[in-house]
Amino acid sequence: MTGKLRSLGLKLFQKAKGGFNWTSVRPKASLPGRTFFAGRPKLLGALGVLAGGAGLLIYALEASVDASSDCVHPPHQDWNHTGLLAALDKESVRRGYFVYKEVCSSCHSLQYIAYRNLVGVCMTESEAKSEAEGITVKDGPNEEGNYFDRPGKLSDHFPSPYPNEDAARSANNGAYPPDLSYIVSARKGGEDYVFALLTGYCEPPAGFTLRDGQYFNPYFSGGAISMGKVIDNEVVSYADENVAASAAQIAKDVVTFLKWTSEPESDERRLLLIKVVLMSAFLIAMSYYIKRHKWSALKSRKIFYIPELERQAAQAAREAELAAKKAESDQCNRCENKNTDKD
């Protein structure tokens, strides 16, 4: 890694050094629209050195952080939704929601996701209403100034399994279960990290000490994690008998669901990108056609200064008048000479 950085830095320095040795050639005509960097090779070379140094510094810092990490790097998985034109698997999202509800919701919350967000993605509107009515929400005050409990509505967010952070830490040996709404976007590695964390539990190596209530996971920072292994074969039963409820499949589905909670609008943004690209291509083609064929007459015409033309026309008229008078005078003189010769 150090050798690559050194060779890249030497190449950039040589290019910048060559920029300092440029010879300034004065253009034939000084145009008002000349670029700012024309004739300033040293300034351009200095900016190149600064940009190259900043890029090397950022790359070196990123590489050093990855090299000094105290956990195993998660392997890359082939996700169906990672392509530029790929969409989330809605069936996998629906199964992932089922896994979250059955396994993860007892400890982790989804406080930034409302039940209305499930409509059209995981379930229909009637199913989402039925899911929302299964929770109890404290609302109020009413006309009498009292708070009351009511069934949930589509506008309500997912409830937290604990009333506050202290209760959550007390129930989990001092560890606070994080909210999973943006967990995929908030962790380096994204889906790969979450998938590896859920399926990477194993026995600790020799000499590694775990405290009570901790488990060994090589993908977690430090190796000791307070969350036990919750994803295993047949931990849930899918309604679709064609989908095997293996640990890998369960982890894949719940990670896909958490990817959706992190970016609920990802499919809409990809669809908007397709529309923008198609419309931009059409508009660019039309603009080129209009510029090339419709504006050619305007762009190729020659503009003259009208007062100068008027002056030239007046001078030409005076010269023509003088020439006509001179020709008439010469004609008269010739006639008089002829008459004199006859006499």
H-type helices in the chain, by residue range? Answer: 2-20, 41-67, 90-99, 125-132, 165-171, 183-186, 191-199, 247-262, 266-289, 296-300, 306-342
Q: How far apart are CA 108 and CA 179, in angstroms?
A: 6
What residues contact residue 51 under an 8 Å CB cut-off, 6+ apart?
A: none
Burial classification of residue 183, based on how many CB atoms lie within 10 Å of its CB (0-12 exposed, 13-18 middle, 19 or more buried) = buried
Residue 108 among known ligand-binding residues = yes
Tokens 């105290």 — which residue? 70
What residues does 123 pair with on adjacent strands? 119
Check whether 73 is labelled as a binding-site residue.
no
SS3 287: helix
Beta carbons of 187 and 193 less than 8 angstroms apart: yes
Name the nearest CA neighbour of 19 among 37, 31, 32. 37
Token duo for residue 8: 């890249």
Cα–Cα distance for residue pair 75/189, rounded to 1 Å: 9
The region, left, alpha or beta by phi > 0 then psi within -120 to 50, assigned to residue 142 is: beta
- Binding site for heme c: residue ranges? 104, 107-108, 227
Residues contributing to the annotated binding site: 104, 107-108, 227
